[in-house]
Amino acid sequence: EGTLKKKFLLKIASGNHSELEPERMRFHREDFSLEILNTSRDDQRLYEYSVSKGSEEEVWQIQLEVFEPVADPSIRILHQESSNGSCSLALWCSSERGDEVSYSWDSRDNGTGGICSGSGNVLNLSYSLWSAAFGCVCTASNPVSSRHRVFNVAQCSSEQ
């Protein structure tokens, strides 16, 4: 129960290195980095790097996290209504894939006075029925990737 098992990926001694899983790893001599090929969720674990000098050993521990990149988001209209010359719209943005995805909204061009700015899946908009067409951009992002989708607001109608 109490035993700690370690698996070696690379050993370097007196200038020579031996890769113990060459089909999964690639060692780069020039910067001493170790590249994992075809990363999968199983690679998410604690890694250790140790250097021995005489009777001493220095050890560094690195916790590797693996994230699936986000897919292109899609935007749906959740709710739409017009009254007293203004239009209110609720947009919902979602990405089919990706770990720890966060969402933010912004204007496509900065001429709409921040009407599109917001965070989270849902953007609630309210604008004049006579305003010019403008675009809101949803960005789905996580620590390893970022994707955008533009929603063009023309007028308040169900034709969108």
Contacts for 98 with CB less than 8 Å, ≥ 6 apart: 67, 68, 69, 70, 71, 140, 142, 145
- Taking 3-state DSSP, the helix, strand and coil percentages for the chain, each rounded to the nearest 5, stand at 5, 50, 45
CATH code of the domain occupying 74-153? 2.60.40.10
Q: In what order do the strands lie in the sheet with 134-142?
A: 118-119, 102-107, 134-142, 145-153
Tell me what pLDDT residue 113 has.
Answer: 57
Tell me what pLDDT residue 160 has.
Answer: 40
Q: Outline which parts of the chain fall under CATH 2.60.40.10.
A: 74-153
Residue 153 main-chain phi, psi, to 5 deg: -95, 115
Structure tokens at 38: 């075809």
Tell me what pLDDT residue 112 has.
Answer: 53
Tell me what pLDDT residue 158 has.
Answer: 46
Mean pLDDT (10-residue bins), the chain, 160 residues:
83 82 86 88 90 91 94 95 88 96 88 79 89 88 96 67
Determine the Cα–Cα distance for residues 139 and 153; give it in Å rounded to an integer: 17
Tell me what pLDDT residue 111 has.
Answer: 55
